[in-house]
């Protein structure tokens, strides 16, 4: 057989089978000169991919939720996850315990698909451990006041004596010595 095409050119036009990936609508003809000039005509119609836009990546606190948004006129399917409220909704809710990437595929009426992803970053709940009292009297017990923070981006601290007078104030980047 001999293959002919329009508008795309076929590289191996004498093969029994061809594989093509046209960018536009194309017509392919297979001519078999051995059987009375039989002609097989194939018309390949190229449909557009669906349009798909997802809301940008988000950051939530541990235990929180984020709404995923897929903007398209076509059907969608989100990657299966136990933390999604719906797999075929355009706007499901997600409440992951740790950072996770969610994938969504949009499929149009012609079966053409396009996918995208969105990352939901989960940050720990800010926690501050601070003593309620200390005794800086040089007896070797409870001399230092140490604040331990997790997930805190800014810290301003004030220490008052038992009469409500401010003894010291410091901020996140300050170096504070013994009181």
Q: Which two tokens stand for residue 6?
A: 């329009």
Each residue's pLDDT tens digit, 72-98: 999 999 998 899 999 999 999 999 999
Confidence grade of residue 144 (pLDDT, cut at 50, 70, 90): confident
Instruction: Give the number of other CB atoms < 10 A from CB of residue 177.
Output: 5
Residues in the chain: 179
pLDDT tens, residue by residue, 17-50: 777 778 888 888 877 777 666 777 888 888 888 9
Q: How far apart are CA 42 and CA 26, in angstroms?
A: 8
Q: Which residues pair with 166 in a beta bridge?
A: 160
Residues 6+ apart with CB under 8 A from 125: 61, 62, 63, 151
């Amino acid at each position: 057989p001999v293959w002919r095409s329009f508008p795309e050119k076929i590289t191996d036009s004498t093969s029994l089978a061809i594989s093509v990936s046209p960018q536009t609508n194309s017509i392919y003809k297979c001519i078999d000169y051995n059987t009375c000039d039989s002609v097989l005509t194939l018309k390949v119609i190229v449909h557009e991919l669906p349009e798909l836009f997802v809301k940008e990546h988000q950051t939530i606190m541990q235990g929180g939720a984020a709404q995923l948004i897929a903007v398209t006129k076509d059907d969608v399917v989100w990657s299966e996850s136990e933390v999604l409220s719906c797999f075929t909704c355009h706007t499901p809710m997600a409440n992951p315990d740790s950072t996770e990437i969610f994938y969504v595929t949009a499929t149009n009426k012609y079966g053409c698909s396009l996918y995208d992803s969105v990352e939901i970053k989960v940050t720990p709940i800010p926690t501050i451990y601070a003593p309620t009292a200390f005794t800086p009297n040089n007896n070797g017990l409870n001399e230092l006041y140490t604040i331990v923070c997790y997930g805190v981006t800014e810290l301003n601290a004030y220490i008052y004596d038992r009469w409500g007078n401010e003894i010291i104030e410091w901020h996140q980047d300050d170096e504070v010595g013994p009181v």
